[in-house]
Amino acid sequence: MKTESKKFLLQEKEIPEAWYNIVPDMKVKPAPMLDPATKRELKAEDLYPIFAEELAKQEMNTTDQWIEIPEEVRDMYKIWRPTPLVRAAGLEKALDTPAHIYFKNESVSPVGSHKLNSAIAQAYYCKKQGITNITTETGAGQWGAALSLAAQHFGLALAVYMVKVSYNQKPYRRSIMQTYGAEVIASPSMSTKAGRKIITDNPTCQGSLGTAISEAVELAMSTPNCKYTLGSVLNHVSLHQTVIGLEAEKQMEMAGEYPDIIIGCFGGGSNFSGISFPFLRHNLAGERNTRFIAAEPESCPKLTMGEFRYDFGDEAGYTPLIPMLTLGHEFMPANIHAGGLRYHGAGSIVSRLKKDGIIDAVDIPQLETFAAATLFARTEGIIPAPESSHAIAAAIREAKKAKEEGRQKVILFNLSGHGLIDMASYDRYFAGDLTDCKYEPAK
Ligand SMILES: *Cc1c(COP(=O)(O)O)cnc(C)c1O
């Protein structure tokens, strides 16, 4: 069978030269982070003990629309960027929809996800500042894998706290991190105060991103010349991910279309922001009216059911207070297979945009995501990550709606990663062992 799916490719020299910072273009800007003890507004300097200085400055930058991508970072992007944009004609045909469906394929990175876009930038700025050690947490292992490669490239020693449920469910991600030279610790662990407290209170605790963040921050604060890094949620992470949307913008132009709807799956918000913000700037300028949809799991619906308030980014309360849509930092999401989406809150920019009605969100049940993933694999040939399958499921919903309405919509979604290391989850789906997990507010 001949595939009709069409690829739009850019040349290496078209890798963006600057990241897009959306904050200067927002009419209502996100509120500042606060010091939890004094409730004082934080400045970039306040973050220097935890983060590399350049990253702390980017986090707080509300004035520069464009931030230059260092040559060393662009050089490393060349390993796999620019990534393809694909017209998913096979999927369109299977759905018999008048909609045109495009996806940006971030799964082609060496680690299989978009996470490397920010990992390289973060490792680079740490190295440039003379840092020798970095720590982080990882849920499904995607961020840890990306940072392991980046740390190795820039000669940094890396300790990764991996959420215990994923450490056991996804041993190959641990192997990948170790292959790149990182030290990997299952979280909660006995190696930190935060971990010991959680294990003492609840010996069978399977961990969460919040717990792993607490451990990684604690180790960074207690180790000399060591910084902490984070793969989602924060503004500078979303900033680095805008290379996705900036490339996609050029590629949609090559395709001769402009998206009516843009979709990204949603954990803390980085890949959704990456595909969306460059297009959203045209909405903010009054030039376009694209609809943006963040696809989150039904079991962890911070955007649709969360409260808009200040909350900690982690479970133990080590991070600054962040203004966010949150289910509460003590919320333990169900053990769904999309480990990268099990996070209690949304980044402050996306939370603000959602609150102001500038973006939309949908909650997708687990079984629907695996059905969508299977259809996508069989029509487009790529086995998606369980996280990315949320975006595919949302795109399929929109394509079906277009058919019912008899309208020719242009839909663009981000394929944030492939699922070749998640096949145990697919096995469980095919065996009928997976269930939907409804959200239950914390007791
Ligand atoms: C980490 C991850 C996500 C979720 O994180 P965001 O910051 O919301 O993008 C989604 N998809 C994949 C493949 C991931 O690895």
Residue 432 corresponds to which tokens in the numbers above?
Answer: 């009928």
Q: How high is the pLDDT of residue 339?
A: 74
Name the domain boundary from 187, 218, 233.
233
The radius of gyration of the chain's CA atoms, rounded to the nearest angstrom, is 20
Q: Are residues 136 and 242 in the same domain?
A: no
How many angstroms does the Cα of residue 301 sit away from the middle of ligand 1? Answer: 15
CB–CB of 324/222 below 8 Å?
no
Tell me whether residue 13 is exposed, middle or buried, using C-beta atoms within 10 angstroms of its C-beta: 0 to 12, 13 to 18, 19 or more. Answer: exposed
Ligand 1 pocket test, pick from 106, 136, 137, 271 with the greatest ligand atom count within 8 Å of Cβ, gives 271
Q: How high is the pLDDT of residue 442?
A: 64
H-type helices in 9-52, by residue range? Answer: 44-47
How many angstroms does the Cα of residue 224 sit away from the middle of ligand 1? Answer: 30
How many angstroms does the Cα of residue 78 sit away from the middle of ligand 1? Answer: 21
Q: Are residues 229 and 303 in the same domain?
A: no
Residue 124, domain extent: 38-64+115-233
* Cβ count near 28 (within 10 Å): 10
Tell the residue number behind the tokens 């959602």, with chain if given: 354
Write the pLDDT tens digit of every residue in 260-274.
999 999 999 999 999
Q: Would 1 be classed as within a structural domain?
A: no
How many angstroms does the Cα of residue 405 sit away from the middle of ligand 1? Answer: 31
Residue 418 corresponds to which tokens in the numbers above?
Answer: 């492939």
Q: Which atom of ligand 1 is nearest to the CA of 388?
A: 11
How many angstroms does the Cα of residue 203 sit away from the middle of ligand 1? Answer: 28
Q: Are residues 223 and 269 in the same domain?
A: no
Q: What's the whole-number mean pLDDT along residues 397-426?
A: 96
Q: What's the whole-number mean pLDDT along residues 318-339?
A: 88
CB–CB of 181/205 below 8 Å?
no
Ligand 1 contact via 416 beta carbon (within 6 Å): yes
pLDDT band at 342 (very low <50, low <70, confident <90, very high): confident
Write the pLDDT tens digit of every residue in 38-81.
999 999 999 999 999 999 999 999 999 999 999 999 999 999 99
Q: Would 154 be classed as within a structural domain?
A: yes
- Nearest alpha-carbon partner for 425 in 249, 182, 194, 172: 172
Q: Would 21 be classed as within a structural domain?
A: no
Q: Would 158 be classed as within a structural domain?
A: yes
Name the domain boundary from 233, 253, 269.
233
pLDDT band at 333 (very low <50, low <70, confident <90, very high): confident
Sign of dihedral through CA atoms 35, 40, 43, 48?
negative
Ligand 1 contact via 313 beta carbon (within 6 Å): no
Name the domain boundary from 190, 213, 233.
233
Ligand 1 contact via 266 beta carbon (within 6 Å): yes
- Beta-carbon-side half-sphere exposure of residue 165 (alpha carbons within 13 Å): 20
Cis peptide before 82 (omega within 30 of 0): yes
Q: Which atom of ligand 1 is nearest to the CA of 142?
A: 15
Global pTM exceeds 0.85: yes
Ligand 1 contact via 269 beta carbon (within 6 Å): yes
Q: How high is the pLDDT of residue 140?
A: 81
The residue whose CA is least distant from atom 5 of ligand 1 is 267
Q: How many domains does the chain have?
A: 2
> CA-to-CA distance for 237 and 220, rounded, in angstroms?
19
pLDDT at 443 over 60: no
> CA-to-CA distance for 118 and 241, rounded, in angstroms?
6
Write the pLDDT tens digit of every residue in 185-201.
999 999 999 999 999 99
pLDDT at 350 over 70: yes
Q: Are residues 247 and 170 in the same domain?
A: no
How many angstroms does the Cα of residue 354 sit away from the middle of ligand 1? Answer: 18
Q: Are residues 202 and 349 in the same domain?
A: no
H-type helices in 314-365, by residue range? Answer: 348-355
H-type helices in 26-160, by residue range? Answer: 44-47, 53-60, 71-77, 89-95, 116-128, 142-154
Q: Would 440 be classed as within a structural domain?
A: no
Q: How high is the pLDDT of residue 158?
A: 98
Write the pLDDT tens digit of every residue in 138-157.
888 999 999 999 999 999 99
How many angstroms does the Cα of residue 201 sit away from the middle of ligand 1? Answer: 30
Q: Are residues 274 and 401 in the same domain?
A: yes
Q: Are residues 316 and 217 in the same domain?
A: no
214-217, long-range: CB within 8 Å, 24+ apart, which pairs?
A: 214/314, 214/315, 214/316, 214/317, 214/318, 215/137, 215/161, 215/185, 215/187, 215/188, 215/189, 215/191, 216/135, 216/136, 216/137, 216/159, 216/160, 216/161, 217/50, 217/135, 217/314, 217/318, 217/319
> CA-to-CA distance for 190 and 44, rounded, in angstroms?
32
pLDDT band at 165 (very low <50, low <70, confident <90, very high): confident
How many angstroms does the Cα of residue 1 sit away from the middle of ligand 1? Answer: 33
- Name the helix (H) or strand (E) containing 377: helix 366-380
Q: How high is the pLDDT of residue 1?
A: 53
> CA-to-CA distance for 284 and 194, rounded, in angstroms?
42
Q: Are residues 56 and 183 in the same domain?
A: yes
Q: Would 328 be classed as within a structural domain?
A: yes
The residues near 432 (Cβ < 8 Å, ≥ 6 apart) are none
Q: Are residues 250 and 163 in the same domain?
A: no
Looking at the chain, the whole-number percentage of residues with pLDDT higher than 70 is 99
The residue whose CA is least distant from atom 14 of ligand 1 is 340
pLDDT at 4 over 80: no
Q: How high is the pLDDT of residue 315?
A: 77
DSSP string, 188-218: S-TTSHHHHHHHHH-TT----HHHHHHHHHH
Q: Would 32 be classed as within a structural domain?
A: no
Q: How high is the pLDDT of residue 274?
A: 98
Cα-based distances in Å from 239 to 174, 176, 184: 27, 26, 27
Cα-based distances in Å from 223 to 45, 48, 125, 306: 19, 14, 18, 35
Helix axes of 366-380 and 388-405: crossing angle, nearest 10 degrees: 80
Tell me whether residue 38 is exposed, middle or buried, using C-beta atoms within 10 angstroms of its C-beta: 0 to 12, 13 to 18, 19 or more. Answer: exposed
Q: Are residues 86 and 173 in the same domain?
A: no
Q: Would 300 be classed as within a structural domain?
A: yes
pLDDT at 182 over 90: yes
Q: Are residues 300 and 205 in the same domain?
A: no
- Beta-carbon-side half-sphere exposure of residue 402 (alpha carbons within 13 Å): 21
Q: Are residues 153 and 206 in the same domain?
A: yes
Looking at the chain, the whole-number percentage of residues with pLDDT higher than 90 is 88
363: domain CATH number is 3.40.50.1100
* Cβ count near 292 (within 10 Å): 24
Q: What's the whole-number mean pLDDT along residues 120-144?
A: 95
